[in-house]
Structure 1
Amino acid sequence: MAIAEQTATKMTVEEFLLIADEEGTHRELIDGELREYDVTTRNPRHSVAIACTTFVLRKWLKSQSQKIGVIACGDARCRLNLDLESVVGIDVAYFEGEEAIRQFHEEPYFSGPPTLAVEVLSSSDVHENVIEKSQKYLAVETKMLWIVDPDLQTVMILKPNAEPVLFNKTQRLNALEELPGFDVAVRELFEP
């Protein structure tokens, strides 16, 4: 997530989707409030963390004969909950099941919470915005959220009704019930 200054206006998801994309502007809808941010270029550590995280998740998904879904990256547009006027861009996400594949082919956004949302921190992120977005993910029952810090080379895992767990570059991400069989050294998320 590499964003700067924001403005606010109230609207519905339908109104939000009618806004034409504008180069240099990132938009999200949080509780009916339009948030517009100036997009900054991403530093190499941020970009590599997104690329590596996407790669290891896609490799994991392809190795699972019983799992189907979509690994998306690059501010994947997602309406978190049909009852909320909220559409966010997710750095990396895993949407599980046939419905995710259908949405990929037919819809302008993913609808419903991802199994996994990954937000990669950048120097332009505002702490309060990261916390607010994290709370939104967990409130709509995203099963797992990773906050990836490319500067500290850490991954914080948040789950609904659980304490956060922090992993550093000397540890492994594994034994995750939401991603059976997933096993990667944290440092691999940060290596070019």
Structure 2
Amino acid sequence: MSPAVQHNLLTADDLDKQPDDGTRYELVKGVLQKMPPAGFEHGICAAEIGSKLNVHVKTHKLGYVCGAETGFKIDQNPDTVRAPDAAFVSQSSIERQGIVRGYWEGAPDLAVEVISPNDTYAEVAEKVDEWLTAGCAMVWVINPRRETVEVYRANEDLVLLHGNDTLEGGDVVKGFQCRVQDIFA
């Protein structure tokens, strides 16, 4: 038996034209997915890492940090538009594409995903894979429950950080450093 064919796939343009009903959506392989509001703990971690990144990036004029509402079109035919909890787009990427009004075409240089209590391991792994496949240089997965950060890069081993370990931006967010425990303070 052949797999069922999905009809009526949406595009990034369709997603952009969705009426504002107060719900956050992502588009995954042409299928609209509701994103429930984040919990309080999740929001604190996302704001903490986003603000730390933003201060560093602005101080050193490295590019821009985006919040959780920012869509990145990371695949097409069918379209996928994801919105990480925080993202960094380098100045060199901005110079190539400019400041766009719609979704950013492609992946950010850094995507940050904060795990929510209802996220499954498979869902998080799928997002990490999508970001890296789309060209994201680095992905940070922050786990508030375990107070850890997983650092992913294409073709490199996973790095697991916790406590007094230092989270570094490497060659992606040059000079950025933060103690892992400070994300959860």
TM-score class, shorter-chain normalisation, is 0.7 to 0.9
User: Taking structure 2 as the reference length, what is the TM-score of the superposition?
Assistant: 0.85
Q: Do the aligned partners of residues 90 and 174 (structure 1) sit closer, same or farther apart at CA in structure 2, a change above 3 Å counting?
A: closer
Q: Are positions 1:70 and 2:64 aligned together?
A: yes
Percent identical pairs in the alignment equals 24
Structure 1 residue aligned with 2:141: 147
Structure 2 residue aligned with 1:79: 73
Which residue of 28, 33, 39 maps to 1:35? Answer: 33
Structure 2 residue aligned with 1:15: 14
Task: Provide the rounded CA distance (Å) in 1 between the counterparts of 2:127 and 2:101.
Answer: 23
Q: Do the aligned partners of residues 110 and 153 (structure 1) sit closer, same or farther apart at CA in structure 2, a change above 3 Å counting?
A: same
Summarize deviations over 1:96-137 as a string: whole Å, max 9, x none. 126538754x41222221010000011121322212111110
Aligned-residue Cα RMSD (Å) equals 2.3
Asked if the contact 1:94/1:116 (under 8 Å) is kept, the reply is yes
Which residue of 39, 47, 50 maps to 2:46? Answer: 50
Q: In structure 2, the residue corresponding to 1:58 is in which secondary structure?
A: helix
Asked if the contact 1:100/1:110 (under 8 Å) is kept, the reply is no
In proportion to residue count, which structure has more strand?
1
Alignment of 1:145-184 (within 5 A): 145-174=139-168, 176-184=170-178
Summarize deviations over 1:15-56 as a string: whole Å, max 9, x none. 222111222x3211112222224x24512x212111110111
Q: Displacement of 1:83 after TM fit?
A: 6.3
Unmatched runs of 5 consecutive residues or more in structure 2 = 1-6
Asked if the contact 1:9/1:34 (under 8 Å) is kept, the reply is no
Asked if the contact 2:85/2:112 (under 8 Å) is kept, the reply is yes
Q: Do the aligned partners of residues 41 and 63 (structure 1) sit closer, same or farther apart at CA in structure 2, a change above 3 Å counting?
A: closer
Unmatched runs of 5 consecutive residues or more in structure 1 = 1-7
Deviating beyond 6 angstroms after TM superposition, the runs of 4 or more aligned structure 1 residues are none
Q: Do the aligned partners of residues 188 and 32 (structure 1) sit closer, same or farther apart at CA in structure 2, a change above 3 Å counting?
A: same
Summarize deviations over 1:65-119 as a string: whole Å, max 9, x none. 5x2x210112321112466611111100001126538754x41222221010000
Task: Provide the rounded CA distance (Å) in 1 between the counterparts of 2:90 and 2:76.
Answer: 17
Q: In structure 2, the residue corresponding to 1:113 is in which secondary structure?
A: coil
Amino acid at match of 1:36: K
| Residue correspondences, number | 178
Amino acid at match of 1:51: A
Higher RCO (CA-CA < 8 Å; seq separation 6+): 1
